[in-house]
Each structure stands twice: as C-alpha cells, then as structure tokens.
Amino acid sequence: MSTGRLIIDLDAVVANWRALDDMTTCRTAAVVKADGYGLGAANVVKALFKAGVRQFFVAVAEEAIAIREELGPKPDINVFSGHMKGDTDLIRELRLTPMLNSVEQLTQHLEVLPGHPFGVQLDTGMNRLGMEMQEWAAVAELALSQGPTLVMSHLACADEPDHPMNTYQLDNFRKMTDGIGAPRSLAATGGILLGPEYHFDLTRPGVGLYGGLPFAQAAPAVELDLPVIQIRDVAEGEVVGYGNSWQAERPSRIATVSGGYADGIFRFLSDRATLYHGNQPCKVIGRVSMDLLTVDVTDAGEAPTKLTLIGPQQSVDDLAAQAGTIGYEVLTQLGRRYSRKTFGK
Ligand SMILES: *Cc1c(COP(=O)(O)O)cnc(C)c1O
C-alpha cells in the first residue's frame, strides 16, 4: 500500500468530550462541522451519540444529511448559518434547528416554517454572524414569543484568556440576554476554559474534541504515517526535487515519501516540516509536491519504511506551527486519499 495511513481514535474524541463536559455543570453539545473537523462526521457523531451527546452543530444545512442518516431522528442538529433561501426543504425534512442570524432570516423562517424550532445567533463584537444589539432590540420580543430553543453568540479571542475582548463580549451577551428565559450558549472550546461565567446553559466545543488547542490536555485523536516509496543516496552537491531547491551539503540519504499538498500537507512546509522515524526527527528537504515529499533520513539509522508526520512525537498543533497555521486547518485539510483506519466506539 502506498497511501498514507491515517488513524482516527474515536475513544479519544469521546474522552475529550467527557473531559470538557466535566468542566461545566451545564449541557455540552458537539460541533461536527467540516466533516467532523476532517475526521469523518458520521463516525464521530455515532461515537458521541453512544456517549450521550444529543445536540450537534454544523456550519451549513447540507452537513446535517450524513448525521441524520447515521443517527436518525433523535438528536438536535443546529445550523450556524441559519435559514438561507434554498435551505427550507432540508430544514423541514431533516428537522434541523437553524440559528437565525438576521432580522431577514427571522422573518423568512417565521413566514415559511411557522412553528418550526429555531435558535438565534447574536453578534457581541466579533462582527461575523448574528444580530447586533439594535437589531436584536427590535425583534427580541417577537423572537422570544416563539420560544427559541437557544440564544447564542461566539467569542472572537477565547484562545487568549487575558484578552479584553472576552469580558467585553461577555458583558454584551449579558446585556442582550439577561432575563430572557430561553437557554443561552456563548462558549466553544476556548470559552469552556475561560471559566464558569462563560458557560451559561450549553457549551459548543469543536476543536478540543479532536485533540486541538486551546484544549492543551486533550488526548490526540489522529496519527498519520506516510510510507517510504524509495530511498537513494546522493553525493554532496547533488540537488533534489522541483526547482532544485535543495542541494546536499554532505553525502545524504533521501527518502521519497507518499504524501503531498493534495493530501493537505501544505506546500509551505517545503524545507520546513519534520517527520519522525521513531524518535529521530527527519527534515523535509526540497519542495512538497502534489503526491510526494522528500525527506533527509541520513541520520535515521536503518532505512525507514514509513515516517510519522502526526503522532506522539509531533501533535497536530506542532505541525500547524511549522506551517504558520492552526491545528484547525491541519485537521480539516487531512487528505481524502489516505487509508483511514477508524477505531474506538
Ligand atoms: C466552529 C464553531 C464552534 C466550535 O469552536 P471550537 O473553537 O472548534 O471549539 C462553536 N461555535 C461556533 C459559532 C463556531 O463557528
């Protein structure tokens, strides 16, 4: 087999959900947008449902199809993008709960699906999704008279505990929602870690379930090993790969490894990323190409048959740091071409 091997640990996902749930006294949902942050939403929701999770969040209505297919009618499926034109059939047939983001969405929802459950998303300063203070003031009475299942907002800087934006948004959220009676939610993974005043009635962790920062204690949920296809020795002065971007400064042993930017190994990692042969770090040398990496294994001892890109030696966030990005992006770009082995519940 010449594809990379991606090992997905659903027991770790469930353990992470439980750990985050244990940090609060309120209900804990699970965010499974972007195909469960790249791990496979159907498998992830099945494991979490077994563990007792009854409320899921997706970004767009289409993402709910796989979840309903897997779990049937029981769980609540909430949609962050709300009720867009064209979503009505899916929202009705799959019994989805849209988080309405604007007066327009609220009006449209009440008009085309009267009596159908909905939530409301408020903007408390991030300026991305949700009704602002004045809009909410204009429609709150109407919206609340229809019994929304949730009133929520989202924190922009929750991964930085000391950022003044956190208390600013918390204050705004309280101003907009204190006394309303409907269940409230403000915290994603970062918000859970900020402490009880951010928890309200429901938290919505995503990345922490999948082993990513800012949940530093998370159990890792993925491992990625890439097979070595070929090994060659190059003399001092020889060049490797596209654009001749690397030249050997000593006699070197180069492994050509299956995996490239088409698999979510960013081209920016050219001459940057580290892979591991056991505990021995081996640098990517030359360009990351579509399907292949070249790696300096001169110091790896015996010729490796595979190299680890994500594993105990190097977390998703370690790799993200080398690529100038965040764990979220590494996870959601994990290639579709890998041989995926999902184990656990
Ligand atoms: C993605 C998202 C979440 C989950 O955030 P994490 O940082 O992954 O825990 C929660 N709420 C909203 C509105 C989101 O867009």
Q: How far is it, in rounded angstroms, from Cα 85 to Cα 87?
A: 6
Q: How far is it, in rounded angstroms, from Cα 266 to Cα 290?
A: 9
Number of folded domains in the chain?
Answer: 2
Within this chain, do residues 234 and 289 fall inside the same structural domain, yes or no? yes
Within this chain, do residues 156 and 305 fall inside the same structural domain, yes or no? no
Q: Tell me whether residue 5 is in a domain.
A: no
Q: Atom 10 of ligand 1 has which residue's CA nearest to it?
A: 188
Q: Atom 6 of ligand 1 has which residue's CA nearest to it?
A: 206
DSSP string, 229-240: EEEEEE-TT-EE
| CATH number of the domain to which 338 belongs | 2.40.37.10
Within this chain, do residues 120 and 14 fall inside the same structural domain, yes or no? yes
Joined tokens for residue 125: 């300063």
Within this chain, do residues 188 and 86 fall inside the same structural domain, yes or no? yes
The residues, ordered by sequence, that sit 6+ positions from 202 with a Cβ below 8 Å of its Cβ are 26, 27, 28, 29, 55, 150, 152, 183, 184, 185
Instruction: Give the pLDDT confidence score for residue 66 in this predicted structure.
Output: 97
Determine whether 33 is an active site residue.
Answer: yes
Within this chain, do residues 48 and 146 fall inside the same structural domain, yes or no? yes
The H or E element spanning position 170 is: helix 164-177
Within this chain, do residues 187 and 244 fall inside the same structural domain, yes or no? no
Q: Which atom of ligand 1 is nearest to the CA of 212?
A: 8
CA 212 / ligand 1 centre spacing (Å): 12
Question: Residues at the annotated binding site for substrate?
Answer: 128, 290
**Mean pLDDT, range 235-256, rounded to an integer:** 96
Q: Atom 4 of ligand 1 has which residue's CA nearest to it?
A: 206
Query: Does 31 contact ligand 1 (Cβ within 6 A)?
Result: yes
Query: Does 258 contact ligand 1 (Cβ within 6 A)?
Result: no
Joined tokens for residue 159: 């991964």
Residue 169: band (very low, low, confident or very high) from pLDDT cuts 50, 70, 90: very high
Q: Please check the confidence at residue 71 and state whether its pLDDT lies above 80.
A: yes
Within this chain, do residues 117 and 241 fall inside the same structural domain, yes or no? no
Q: Please check the confidence at residue 326 and state whether its pLDDT lies above 80.
A: yes
Q: Tell me whether residue 255 is in a domain.
A: yes
Check 50, 175, 242, 345 and give the catalytic one.
242
Determine whether 242 is an active site residue.
Answer: yes
| CATH number of the domain to which 42 belongs | 3.20.20.10
Q: Tell me whether residue 237 is in a domain.
A: yes
Q: Considering Cα of 10, then 15, then 20, then 21, what sign does the dihedral take?
A: positive
Instruction: Give the pLDDT confidence score for residue 182 in this predicted structure.
Output: 98
CA 21 / ligand 1 centre spacing (Å): 15
Instruction: Give the pLDDT confidence score for residue 162 in this predicted structure.
Output: 98
CA 32 / ligand 1 centre spacing (Å): 9
Instruction: Give the pLDDT confidence score for residue 340 in this predicted structure.
Output: 97
pTM, two decimals, is 0.97
- Per-residue pLDDT tens digits for 122-161: 999 999 999 999 999 999 999 999 999 999 999 999 999 9
Residue 324: band (very low, low, confident or very high) from pLDDT cuts 50, 70, 90: very high
Whole-number percent of the chain with pLDDT over 70: 100
Within this chain, do residues 169 and 234 fall inside the same structural domain, yes or no? no
Within this chain, do residues 158 and 259 fall inside the same structural domain, yes or no? no
Q: Please check the confidence at residue 1 and state whether its pLDDT lies above 80.
A: no
- Per-residue pLDDT tens digits for 182-203: 999 999 999 999 999 999 999 9
Query: Does 82 contact ligand 1 (Cβ within 6 A)?
Result: no
Q: How far is it, in rounded angstroms, from Cα 286 to Cα 262?
A: 17
Question: Residues at the annotated binding site?
Answer: 128, 290
Domain boundaries, position 261: 222-343
Within this chain, do residues 181 and 34 fall inside the same structural domain, yes or no? yes
